[in-house]
Chains A and B, each alone.
Chain A
């Protein structure tokens, strides 16, 4: 039985709904005077970050501590000469110290998969973002945010996102958030549309369970949620788009565009936001923008994942796809 969370594509609909429902209960702990549960007492979790990501690390760390796990933070900047050796050696060193789970962030796509499947270690592996591959807890917290806003906190329990129309805008090509969201949202029954300049859509996207559009304006009125992905300014230099100004004009979300969205529709952003590029300050600071909520929800989702993977004698999440391969 799989004990890892590597890809959002590994989750079945029931797994995903269980995680969202569990997170809803975890969220209530945040409202209590003592924001702590004894559930993972005596379990050790290491946050193994080969890439700087203070936001994600702090979110995991908060989740781990609220569940009373012992937390080790390991920020390793991969050496250019032998990154491979250092991943394997570092993981084995940590395991020798008695680690029950490894939360890993790595710049190389597939590094968490390798860690979980190469026989290097026995600990459970949770992917906190790998290269341009996957970031499954981000997709889960996004889905959680959508369910709360579009269905309701209590009304959402046990529900998926059947029929919800979600639009992802921005650098799809380099985005692990996009990949994870397409997989998970599809599993949860949502209809996903990707919007980007053609240069930032991967060759091979035709096999993804979603629509692709190059025109933002035509999708806005048909969206229950619009998620903006960060666009790095450096992409200009590699000719992915001509200028920041042209990108903003064609794909940035401003007040006028937001007004074209249905009244109930929300604006999402995984952060950190590049204001003035993909989103204007007006939109970012509006009631409809869930960026701050997403951060709070991230802790609840990560608590749920940690509890469901480590809280018992075996994980409660089935990982249908991986099991089929075995």
Chain B
């Protein structure tokens, strides 16, 4: 069985909670919120957390540019080597960290991720940021907040609050990676899988 089959089996009994148009609408709203709260988004830098957070950051960047008519720096921040569960798994392949040209010092960094769950990824992201520079402030934008926080972390911009049980999985699919846009809510697979 190849990866694709496995993926399909896993998502077949899951139900969509956000479809393509919903995702586009939600991102537009978040873009407006950022502009509003950042008072024009003059110094905003968007940093997506790989893999899907990067695509969301790029989409947000486009929308911010439409609204502000300014180029918005977008980059990526791989948090793998800052994870607190490294010793619990085999080493993961690293993803790209790409800090836009002018850096992050003194700027408003908005971290972008697909799903906010335990908060540990964001904790690692804050540590990673610390080694890269000193932003004026850090904010967090997520497509879905599914609850169950294990750390005192909250999102500044939330696409959709989705109450879930721990037996459920939330899977974000994006056209750039998965060929379509959707957010799926499903039952946890028997074997440990790629769920959030």
Taking CB atoms, residues of chain A closer than 8 Å to B131 are 32-34, 36-37
A22, A36, A314: the one within 8 Å of B94 (CB):
A22
Residues of B80-97 contacting chain A, CB below 8 A: 81-82, 86-97
Q: Does A21 contact B (CB under 8 A)?
A: yes
Taking CB atoms, residues of chain B closer than 8 Å to A314 are 90
Write the nearest CB–CB distance from B135 to chain A, whole angstroms: 13
Residues of A270-326 contacting chain B, CB below 8 A: 307-308, 311-316
Is the pair A22, B93 in contact by a Cβ cutoff of 8 Å? Answer: yes
Q: Give B33-44 as 1s and 0s: 1 = Cβ < 8 Å from A's Cβ atoms.
A: 000000000000
Is the pair B93, A312 in contact by a Cβ cutoff of 8 Å? Answer: no
Taking CB atoms, residues of chain B closer than 8 Å to A21 are 93-94
CA distance A129 to B92 in the complex (A): 27
For B, the interface residue count at a CB cutoff of 8 angstroms equals 19
For A, the interface residue count at a CB cutoff of 8 angstroms equals 22
Is the pair B90, A315 in contact by a Cβ cutoff of 8 Å? Answer: yes
Is the pair B95, A312 in contact by a Cβ cutoff of 8 Å? Answer: no
Q: Does B113 contact A (CB under 8 A)?
A: no
A38, A315, A316: the one within 8 Å of B82 (CB):
A38
Given the contacts A39-B81, A39-B86, A311 and B95 also touching, CB distance less than 8 Å = no
Q: Does B132 contact A (CB under 8 A)?
A: yes
Given the contacts A32-B131, A37-B81, A38-B127, A307 and B97 also touching, CB distance less than 8 Å = no
CA distance A315 to B97 in the complex (A): 23
B78, B88, B127, B133: the one within 8 Å of A25 (CB):
B78
Write the nearest CB–CB distance from B40 to chain A, whole angstroms: 28
CA distance A21 to B78 in the complex (A): 14
Q: Does A264 contact B (CB under 8 A)?
A: no
Report which A residues bind B (CB closer than 8 A): 18, 21-22, 25-26, 28, 32-34, 36-39, 67, 307-308, 311-316
19 contacts between A and B (CB under 8 A): A21-B94, A22-B93, A25-B78, A25-B95, A25-B96, A28-B96, A32-B132, A33-B131, A34-B132, A37-B81, A37-B82, A38-B81, A38-B82, A311-B81, A312-B88, A312-B89, A313-B90, A315-B90, A316-B91
